[in-house]
Structure 1
Amino acid sequence: MTPVEEKPPRALLAEAPRPWVRLLPRAVAFVLFLALLPTTIQVLGVDYGLDGGIASGLAVAQTAPLLLAVVRPLRAWYVVFAADVAGALALLSVDFEARLSWPFPPMEIVGYVGLCLALGLRESRRTLLMVWPATAGAGVGLEFAAPDGRSGNGTLLTILSGAALVLGGALRERYVAQRRLAEQESISEAERGRRRLLEERARIARELHDVVAHHMSVITVQADTAAYRINGLPPAEREEFTSIAATARESLGEMRRLLGVLRNEETHGELAPQPGLTRIGQLVDATARAGGPVEFTPCDADVPEAVGLSAYRIVQEALANVVRHAPGALTRVALSEDGEQLTVLVVNGPPPEPPAAPLEKGHTGHGLVGMRERVRLVGGTLDAGPLPEGGFRVAARLPLTERDST
């Protein structure tokens, strides 16, 4: 088994959308390091009287890990915590003025509190519950060793570090909750789109069933009546027509069982003629009655029923979108056929007056989903989108002959 490579940790706030927020932790850590390193050396060496080498070593150990805290705050905490405790013990070996803080000088408190904030932003609650008792224990324990009865500031460090841990943890959990909510909303929107796509496919399947079932019914009737319509039909041909009729009835039964699966409980209609090119004029008239002027260029070509049904549904959805989103806009519906394909064009301009309130809030794009499914079903192409001067354009090209899928 090959070992799994550990992914390098990401910096604090690396997933923030704004660049300055992503750079903020590094900038704060760098500023703290530059400010605290010389200050710590100066205070420990001059004010407290520690040896210069010891003061420098402690200063580096207490401040340099702040740069690491941007990526690995827990590892930085181990070093800084040990260095702060070691510094407090080292101060017991020198005689410093009573006015000076002990066991933690002010610059150590600033660095430690900043480190605790980084811990809260990155680590889990379990880790934070380990860090804070260790800090409190060290602070209280060192206060008992205060020289000459001086009062220590371990309690102050305990309170400030606890507040920083709580603040960082609260910010981290808030960010995690917001991210999960955004992910859930994204998943929900994708599921709604997928559900709408499946519903549209089922609707198309139901409509195509009605179209194909009509043809199968015609085949069955013609095959059953062939012996009566054709005089002198030989027995072999009569048996062939009987077999054709039986096969057609069996196929029709299978399609009806399929329809029973696809139709929902609210669908009560049986086999019914599906709308085609000749019914598009009724859609145009209905839209005009709703208050929107429509210019219509009809097409009387004889097209396959699946193509005519797709054209009807595309125009239906496009005109519905005009009524919903651009009421009163001038709309042009044009159908044309050149022997190879049927072109469906629906173009509307901007509404004469912006509606006081939209008829529907939000733009789900479900209508375009249905259009694309229908166009894909017959092997055509769809071009839909807003116009530069305002309005919307839907152009579908539906082939009149079946195309190879390869």
Structure 2
Amino acid sequence: MPPSPAGSPPADGLLSAARRNLRELTHGLSHASHPPTPLLAGSPHRWLRLLPYAVVLALAAVFIPVTVQVLTGDYGVPGGLAGALAVGQAAPLLMLAHRPLQAWWIVFTADIVGALVLLGQGMRPDTIWPWTPPVMIGYLFVLLALGLRESRRTVVGVWLLTGSAGLLLHLSAPSHSDGGALLLFVLGGVVLVIGAAVRERSEAQRRLVEQETISEAERAQRTLLEERTRIARELHDVVAHHMSVITVQADSAPYRIGQMSDEVRAEFASIAAGARESLTEMRRLLSVLRSDGSRGELAPQPGLDRVQQLVEATVRAGLPAELSMAADVAEVVERGGIPQAVDLSAYRIVQESLANVVRHAPGAGTRVSVTAQDGHLTVLVVNGRAPRPGSPLEASGTGHGLVGMRERVRLTGGTLDTGPLPDGGFRVAARLPLPPNRPPSAPVTPEEP
């Protein structure tokens, strides 16, 4: 047999696809696509979690007596049989909150049985059949619950089964039909579309919230990595300075110190070579940390000796700020007794704090205090409430500055305390450790190394 021409699928392929879709549809109609959890179970409000139970209780309480009244009064069904049909058709509405698919199977079966019972009761030709008015209204609530909870394939299957059942009942007794089957089929389709649309909209909102949460976490992580990279680049200059000093001292030691043995000269040469290799590795690491296209900073790193200039520049920008630096701290700063990492971190903390005041509380009075006590350097920046409420340059910050402060303080082994004040201001307090006081070393002479 010649092969089928290209582009025309074989018949067995169409049959296998039809069987596969039929199996999936059967599985969808027999297995709920969600766990038996109530609708709105994840709501933070208790009244919303209880709302589905209240709705289904009200539906059952209304439809059971109404169905009994309609069956006995309009269709002439005996009271006992009418009560049994009403319970079968309306009591499953209590399951709509957590098991709508199982409720649909019960209601669907009870409605078909009720239509056959009415057919055997000898109805009047002008009565609505096969579905009574209470059956149609209650069935619409069932379809709405299905549209809110089940998949699209299951919803389409329910709609087609409903229409097929109505069509078969109409063909079995066309003289008794008054458009009930067609009306329920049309209204059911509209209700299912509405329920599916509401469900997809809620799913889209949920996914959007999840995506925003993920994006916020990624943004915070990216901010943290950027701050760490910036700190690493600045710390490179501090460490490179010390390594350069070690290299120069090791290289010049044989010329500054006389009467050295060959072993000592070789040791100094090894120290110098190791320091140069470390500098080379640090420059290689810095080239990786530096962003593409960026160039290194040529200016020296600032420190506490430039805090006064920073505060003066802030005052010229329109922010009333004042600086209080203890005399002992100023003396230590002048003679370079503060480690460069601590010195740079203290300056950056003051700089970022003042920048945050300008962005979020323009015009607020700010006090900057730098003190040293118990082996720690304390940097305190306190600002009051902005004089013009509602006029910040940035309504909501990204936390970029606080992340950088926290990382710098953690780098030096200190602590950081930030938070709002009762009067509406903000406080930033950093406590950075200082090295223990050591007596100055005596100058080295060639005769006394």
Q: Same fold (TM over 0.5)?
A: yes
Structure 1 partner of 2:296: 269
1:72-83 pair list within 5 angstroms: 72-83=99-110
Deviation track 1:148-189 (CA, whole Å, cap 9, x = no partner) reads 455241111111111111111111111111111111112112
Q: Cα RMSD (Å) of the superposition?
A: 1.9
Report the Cα distance in structure 1 between the residues aligned to 2:431 and 2:355, rounded to whole angstroms: 20
Matched, 1:384 2:430: no
**Structure 1 spans left out of the alignment, 5+ residues:** 1-5
1:96-115 pair list within 5 angstroms: 96-115=123-142
Structure 2 partner of 1:304: 339
Structure 1 partner of 2:313: 286
Residue of structure 2 aligned with 1:336, choices 371, 378, 382: 371
Report the Cα distance in structure 2 between the residues aligned to 1:149 and 1:99, rounded to whole angstroms: 7
Structure 2 partner of 1:225: 252
Report the Cα distance in structure 2 between the residues aligned to 1:187 and 1:163, rounded to whole angstroms: 36
Q: What SS does the corresponding residue of 2:146 show, helix, strand or coil?
A: helix
> For residue 381 of structure 1, what is the amino acid of its counterpart?
T
> For residue 380 of structure 1, what is the amino acid of its counterpart?
G
Larger mean CA deviation between 96-105 and 142-151 belongs to 142-151
Structure 1 residue 56 displacement after superposition: 2.5
Task: Describe the shift of the 1:252–1:149 C-alpha distance in structure 2 as closer, same or farther (beyond 3 A).
Answer: closer
Report the Cα distance in structure 2 between the residues aligned to 1:150 and 1:393, rounded to whole angstroms: 79
> For residue 91 of structure 1, what is the amino acid of its counterpart?
L
Task: Describe the shift of the 1:237–1:128 C-alpha distance in structure 2 as closer, same or farther (beyond 3 A).
Answer: same
- Verify the 8 A CA contact 1:146 1:152 in the aligned structure 2: no
Q: What SS does the corresponding residue of 2:53 show, helix, strand or coil?
A: helix
Structure 1 residue 381 displacement after superposition: 1.0
Structure 2 partner of 1:251: 278
Structure 1 partner of 2:404: 370
Q: What SS does the corresponding residue of 1:382 show, helix, strand or coil?
A: strand
1:50-199 pair list within 5 angstroms: 50-146=77-173, 148-199=175-226
Report the Cα distance in structure 2 between the residues aligned to 1:170 and 1:297, rounded to whole angstroms: 63
> For residue 62 of structure 1, what is the amino acid of its counterpart?
Q
Q: What SS does the corresponding residue of 1:345 show, helix, strand or coil?
A: strand
- Verify the 8 A CA contact 2:124 2:176 in the aligned structure 1: no
- Aligned residue pair count: 396
- Verify the 8 A CA contact 2:56 2:93 in the aligned structure 1: yes
Structure 1 residue 361 displacement after superposition: 4.0
Q: What SS does the corresponding residue of 1:190 show, helix, strand or coil?
A: helix
Matched, 1:327 2:365: no
- Verify the 8 A CA contact 1:382 1:396 in the aligned structure 2: yes
Residue of structure 1 aligned with 2:261, choices 218, 222, 234: 234
Report the Cα distance in structure 2 between the residues aligned to 1:145 and 1:278, rounded to whole angstroms: 99
Structure 1 residue 272 displacement after superposition: 5.3
Q: What SS does the corresponding residue of 2:120 show, helix, strand or coil?
A: coil
- Verify the 8 A CA contact 1:210 1:272 in the aligned structure 2: no
> For residue 371 of structure 1, what is the amino acid of its counterpart?
M
- Verify the 8 A CA contact 1:277 1:308 in the aligned structure 2: yes
Report the Cα distance in structure 1 between the residues aligned to 2:386 and 2:77, rounded to whole angstroms: 81
Report the Cα distance in structure 2 between the residues aligned to 1:169 and 1:355, rounded to whole angstroms: 43
Q: What SS does the corresponding residue of 1:92 show, helix, strand or coil?
A: helix
Structure 1 residue 97 displacement after superposition: 3.1
Report the Cα distance in structure 1 between the residues aligned to 2:273 and 2:419, rounded to whole angstroms: 49
Residue of structure 1 aligned with 2:386, choices 351, 354, 357: 351
Using structure 2 for the length normalisation, give the TM-score: 0.84
Q: What SS does the corresponding residue of 2:202 show, helix, strand or coil?
A: helix
Structure 1 residue 401 displacement after superposition: 4.0
- Verify the 8 A CA contact 1:143 1:151 in the aligned structure 2: no
- Verify the 8 A CA contact 1:36 1:63 in the aligned structure 2: yes
Structure 1 residue 72 displacement after superposition: 1.2
Deviation track 1:51-109 (CA, whole Å, cap 9, x = no partner) reads 44432222211112111111011111111111101110111111233443211111111
Larger mean CA deviation between 86-95 and 48-57 belongs to 48-57
Using structure 1 for the length normalisation, give the TM-score: 0.93
Structure 2 partner of 1:397: 431
Structure 1 residue 117 displacement after superposition: 0.6
Larger mean CA deviation between 269-278 and 321-330 belongs to 269-278
Q: What SS does the corresponding residue of 2:101 show, helix, strand or coil?
A: helix
